[in-house]
A and B are shown apart, each in its own frame.
Chain A
Amino acid sequence: MKSSTLILITAFLFILSTMVISFIVDKQLDPNYQKNWFAIGFVSPSGDTPDFILENHSSEHSFRYTVTSGGKILTDQPIEASNGEAISIHPNNTDLPKPYTISVFPENNPKKSESLTRK
């Protein structure tokens, strides 16, 4: 058996293995693939605006957000975001009194909420 044939077969087996590994890792890197989470963050981390972004990597499409301050709910609005979408939300509140909290949760699972606060 020629050694060059063995080298070529080894190379082929290696390329096949690495393509499988790369494919699997690519899928794992996809924040939407077989994952169920969402994140929120202020558009301007160091600023004062309450504008925030919702990144949806879950199977949920319908969310709600509330803005609360001093124990009062100042805003309670629905958000629609499909899987993989990142949308910017501008709460219709001017001069929000600090501290205030913005909470986002899926409509049918309020316990699974994420919150932001400005102090």
Chain B
Amino acid sequence: MDFISQQIFLFLSIGGLLFLPGFLALRICFGKKTPLNSFETTLTASALSFGFLDFLMILLGKNHILLTPYSITCILLTLLLVCLIMRKILPTPKDTASEGTKRDQLHFTRMEGSLFLLILFLTLFTKSIFLSDAAFPTSTDLGHHSYWSKGITETGTLPQYTKRDIIVESDSTEQLSKPEPIADFIIGEHLPFAALALFSGSTFISAFPVIVLFLINILSLLAYFVLALRLGEEIQKKFISFVPMHFGLIVLFLQGPLYTIASPQAKFVSGGVVGNTFGNFFIPIILLFFYRAIREKNPVFMGLAFFFTFTLAYTHHLSTLVLLFILVASIITQFLLHIHSLNIFIRDWRKIILHPVPLTIAFLCTLFFFTVAMPTYIETHAVGTALGTPTKLTRTGLTFAEILSGSGEARAVLGIAGLVLIALFARAFKNTAGLLLPWTVILLIMSMKPSLVFLDIPSNRIGSYALFPLAFLAAFVLLLLSEYLQKISLKKNLILPAILPASLIIILFVYAVGSGSSDNGGSLLSAPKSTEAVQTFAVSQFLSERIRPEDIILKDHNYLSADSFMKLFFMRDYGFPLSRGYFKRYETPGHEQCSLTMIASPNTTAGKKCLAGTGTDIIIVNPLFDRIQFEKSPDFSRIYSSPLIHVYSL
């Protein structure tokens, strides 16, 4: 397929699968009187579409119906038809919300619209420069995820998350295991990619997966923007001159073009950190709907929040865990903020939860969970490994300096200041403070003192979630200061005092821009890794066409580029080819040593025993690092040779 046709098919598939089903469902359910503004409609349509795709594809797969463009289209249309029938049969619900249910219009002034576009342009431009080199498929995580998605497109069935690995038997011999379950992957990370590949014909050895992740990353920025607008509406009731749109634009600026390459932004996109990228999209949307449900006492929003939480649970376990901590902390904070009006508080909560819409959605989700499919990490009882006392140094918490550098120095510093301010004004805007305060505090606790919340997860992974609420708080500080400046400048004969806050704001602004931009500059790649990777793909293609079913291949992960994509050429098993991993792993007591020995010293007794035990007969290495041991061996023939790849066979 030529380039232009390929792109057209891809974007039509993205529009048709990742936006249209959700948009049509919203239209059917709400008609034109949707209580969402255009941005919220777009984001909700996308989130709904992801949810529909995931659950309907799981339903098809569990009922042994092949996953094809035809079957997926049929089931999506069936769902929409069901929505239409339900809408016609059920009576029009009464307006149960006290505010905000009218058609919500979002207006930008010319200046605001121009600023919005400028921020988006800078964000897209900077990320595109980075991704033009980094989107080339080499990252380990992306290779792993692409394998499962490709498996769905080839077999038309749901993936079985299993893997054959080298295990140490009780008699200390090492051999290949039978396929064992692995909990690291969750089906929601793979179904959307598979669906898009089925419809568009895109291959996984291309920019396609990164493009999809890029889209989700941009959608997540818009989600935070929209959340900021809603939070700003309540703040405006206390500070009349506090403009929600300005708040949203500053949040967008602090999360968009600044620190836009560092994790968890473009680096997660190019690195194929699929689950986290999805999580960063769903978390603000879920918080938005929980927030609006509570503030506007709208049970429909609560129902949507339930559905999106359920979708997230089938997409990324860590993000789900983080979300649950945020929600629990938020409920506790809300409870404390409303301590003097508890009756009304509990009555409002009861009204929005004990309503047919959220109850029906919760019931259907629970039914799906118990009767159709559970997420992999539940089935393999992996939850227990994430909770408990930290077991490794990397899980004992980050230092404050690490938080600063991980969240972006300017954001973190201003955010901490904003945290103090928000705490001071908490009673003035309870719902907003009841979200921002606990959101920030719980993430700081989880990343700095995980033992306090019995968390046993790498702390830097948790720390990457903290930048989002810190950006809100930083924006709050900047906007409050500028509002204060405006107030002062309106008073006559106070030009001199006005210079002081103006200078402070300019300094803070320059600090934020400088810090964020230099971070971007330092993160750009010096040269693409394509030259090495194409040789890896070439040898994989060559061998996949020529090896026998009984051949077992071992490759090296340390010195081969894009080696995690090799499995996409063979599609035999997640663990095929076998891999010599990072050297540090072999220092762990009890870790298998064969994959190390077979490459490092194949001619020794241990090496030969490993080769025989695992059945390995083909080894792929980078000759610049691993060559002599095979050349010296009387048993190994060199069967393939390129500048950066040698393949040796017994």
Contacts of A1 in B (CB 8 A): 107-110, 112-113
Binding site for B on A (CB under 8 A): 1-7, 9-10, 13-15, 17-26, 28-31, 35, 37-46, 53, 55, 57, 99, 114-119
Which B residue sits closest to A114, measured CB to CB?
B641
Instruction: Tell which of A9, A10, A18, A118 has the most Cβ of chain B within 10 Å.
Output: A18
Contacts of A30 in B (CB 8 A): 534
Distance of A3 Cα from B640 Cα, bound (Å): 58
| Inter-chain contact A6/B636, CB cutoff 8 Å | no
Contacts of A9 in B (CB 8 A): 117
Distance of A6 Cα from B205 Cα, bound (Å): 33
Which B residue sits closest to A19, measured CB to CB?
B7
Interface string of B560-581 (1 = CB under 8 A from A): 0000000000000000000000
A31-B534 contact, Cβ under 8 Å, with A3-B39, A6-B113: yes
Question: Which residue of B39, B210, B531, B637 is within 8 Å of A21 (Cβ)?
Answer: B210
Contacts of A46 in B (CB 8 A): 547-548, 551, 617, 649
| Inter-chain contact A6/B108, CB cutoff 8 Å | yes
| Inter-chain contact B534/A21, CB cutoff 8 Å | no
Contacts of B42 in A (CB 8 A): 7
| Inter-chain contact B124/A13, CB cutoff 8 Å | yes
Minimum-distance CB pairs A-B, first 6: A1-B113, A39-B642, A28-B530, A41-B640, A25-B207, A114-B641
Contacts of B641 in A (CB 8 A): 39-41, 114-116
| Inter-chain contact B645/A39, CB cutoff 8 Å | yes
CB distance from B61 to the nearest CB of A (A): 29
| Inter-chain contact A3/B37, CB cutoff 8 Å | yes
Q: Taking the complex as formed, is B3 at the interface, i.e. its CB lies under 8 A from any CB of chain A?
A: yes
22 CB-based A-B contacts, threshold 8 Å:
A1-B112, A2-B108, A3-B107, A7-B42, A13-B124, A14-B218, A17-B214, A18-B207, A19-B7, A21-B128, A22-B7, A23-B3, A24-B135, A28-B530, A29-B136, A37-B535, A38-B642, A43-B546, A55-B538, A99-B637, A114-B641, A118-B637
Question: Which residue of B39, B636, B645 is within 8 Å of A119 (Cβ)?
Answer: B636
- Besides A4-B38, A25-B207, A116-B639, 7 other A-B contacts (C-beta < 8 A): A1-B112, A6-B113, A22-B7, A26-B206, A29-B136, A29-B534, A117-B638
Contacts of B647 in A (CB 8 A): 41, 45
CB distance from A91 to the nearest CB of B (A): 15
CB distance from B221 to the nearest CB of A (A): 10
Distance of A18 Cα from B218 Cα, bound (Å): 12
| Inter-chain contact A22/B206, CB cutoff 8 Å | yes
| Inter-chain contact B547/A17, CB cutoff 8 Å | no
Q: Taking the complex as formed, is B582 at the interface, i.e. its CB lies under 8 A from any CB of chain A?
A: no
| Inter-chain contact B117/A28, CB cutoff 8 Å | no
Distance of A42 Cα from B539 Cα, bound (Å): 12
Which A residue sits closest to B212, measured CB to CB?
A18
CB distance from B23 to the nearest CB of A (A): 12
Contacts of A55 in B (CB 8 A): 538, 542
A29-B530 contact, Cβ under 8 Å, with A1-B113, A114-B641: yes
| Inter-chain contact A18/B214, CB cutoff 8 Å | yes
User: Which residues of chain B (512-539) have a CB below 8 Å from chain A?
Assistant: 528, 530-531, 534-535, 537-539
Q: Taking the complex as formed, is B116 at the interface, i.e. its CB lies under 8 A from any CB of chain A?
A: yes
| Inter-chain contact B528/A28, CB cutoff 8 Å | yes
Contacts of A3 in B (CB 8 A): 37-39, 105-108
Distance of A117 Cα from B551 Cα, bound (Å): 19
CB distance from A6 to the nearest CB of B (A): 6
Distance of A42 Cα from B646 Cα, bound (Å): 12
Contacts of B642 in A (CB 8 A): 37-40, 114
Q: Taking the complex as formed, is B511 at the interface, i.e. its CB lies under 8 A from any CB of chain A?
A: no
| Inter-chain contact A39/B113, CB cutoff 8 Å | no
Q: Taking the complex as formed, is B413 at the interface, i.e. its CB lies under 8 A from any CB of chain A?
A: no
| Inter-chain contact A17/B128, CB cutoff 8 Å | yes
Contacts of B108 in A (CB 8 A): 1-3, 6
Which B residue sits closest to A35, measured CB to CB?
B531
CB distance from B530 to the nearest CB of A (A): 4
CB distance from B138 to the nearest CB of A (A): 10
Distance of A7 Cα from B23 Cα, bound (Å): 14
Q: Taking the complex as formed, is B374 at the interface, i.e. its CB lies under 8 A from any CB of chain A?
A: no
| Inter-chain contact B535/A26, CB cutoff 8 Å | no
Q: Taking the complex as formed, is B31 at the interface, i.e. its CB lies under 8 A from any CB of chain A?
A: no
CB distance from A33 to the nearest CB of B (A): 9
Contacts of A6 in B (CB 8 A): 108, 113, 116-117
| Inter-chain contact B535/A25, CB cutoff 8 Å | no
Distance of A39 Cα from B136 Cα, bound (Å): 21
Distance of A114 Cα from B645 Cα, bound (Å): 10
